[in-house]
Amino acid sequence: MNHVGTIQLETDRLLLRRFTLDDAESVFYNWASDDEVTKYLTWPTHKSIDVSRGYIDYCVKGYTDLSFYQWGIELKVTQKLIGNISVVKVIDEIDSLELGWVIGRKYWGNGYTAEVALKIIEFLFDQVGANCVCAGHDVNNPNSGRVMQKAGMKFEGILRQSGRNNQGIVDMAHYSIIKAER
């Protein structure tokens, strides 16, 4: 793959951009401090803005690595940061990348997550040279699976007790799309 790092992308409604140190309050208040939003995630709910600052600091430092992909999702019309999407695993040996995302609860149901997933998948195939983009979700979180389907991913199967999130050890549904399927 030809890693190019987190570059700014956009859709009709959304701007996908690097985080800045000024984003900590938005991250905290718009999604990271909400137990309902983080219920099925692999990281715990942020209990303070300092935790969100630590995450932002991690991202800002990570941007020096061209295989590091972390985007803030900004709603163009309001310029509000509403979530993030990232590559959570890079497997260079097989040109494969795994996606993960989170979006604030008040923005659920608007198609934003599928919209950004489609854009990121296009970017990963066309600019990074990925052969496969995959994602997985706790079987008790079917809404995430619907996002994967809307992004063109195909259901691969369920791996029992193969993931850990804020609910404990869970069964995971896996989806993927390969470059030849586009």
**What would the mean pLDDT of 31-44 be, rounded to a whole number?**
98
Distance from C-alpha of 56 to C-alpha of 130, rounded to nearest angstrom: 26
> What local confidence, expressed as pLDDT, does residue 35 receive?
98
> What local confidence, expressed as pLDDT, does residue 170 receive?
98
Tens-place pLDDT, residues 3-17: 999 999 999 999 999
Residue 182 located in a structural domain: no
Residue 136 located in a structural domain: no
Tens-place pLDDT, residues 111-170: 999 999 999 999 999 999 999 999 999 999 999 999 999 999 999 999 999 999 999 999
Residue 97 located in a structural domain: yes
Tens-place pLDDT, residues 72-99: 999 999 999 999 999 999 999 999 999 9
> What local confidence, expressed as pLDDT, does residue 182 receive?
84
Residue 57 located in a structural domain: yes
CATH number at residue 85: 3.40.630.30
Distance from C-alpha of 13 to C-alpha of 116, rounded to nearest angstrom: 10
HEC states along the chain? CCCCCCCCEECCCEEEECCCHHHHHHHHHHHHCCHHHHCCCCCCCCCCHHHHHHHHHHHHHHCCCCCCCEEEEEECCCCEEEEEEEEEEEEHHHCEEEEEEEECHHHCCCCHHHHHHHHHHHHHHHHHCCCEEEEEEECCCHHHHHHHHHCCCEEEEEEEEEEEECCEEEEEEEEEEEHHHC
Domain that holds residue 56: 9-130
Residue 65 located in a structural domain: yes
pTM above 0.75, yes or no: yes
Tens-place pLDDT, residues 40-60: 999 999 999 999 999 999 999
Distance from CA of residue 146 to its chain's centroid? 14
Distance from C-alpha of 63 to C-alpha of 146, rounded to nearest angstrom: 30
> What local confidence, expressed as pLDDT, does residue 112 receive?
98
> What local confidence, expressed as pLDDT, does residue 124 receive?
98
Residue 154 located in a structural domain: no
Residue 52 located in a structural domain: yes
* 160 closest CA partner among 170, 151, 168: 170
Residue 176 located in a structural domain: no
- Identify the residue whose tokens are 């310029």: 79
Q: Work out how many domains the chain is built from and give that number.
A: 1
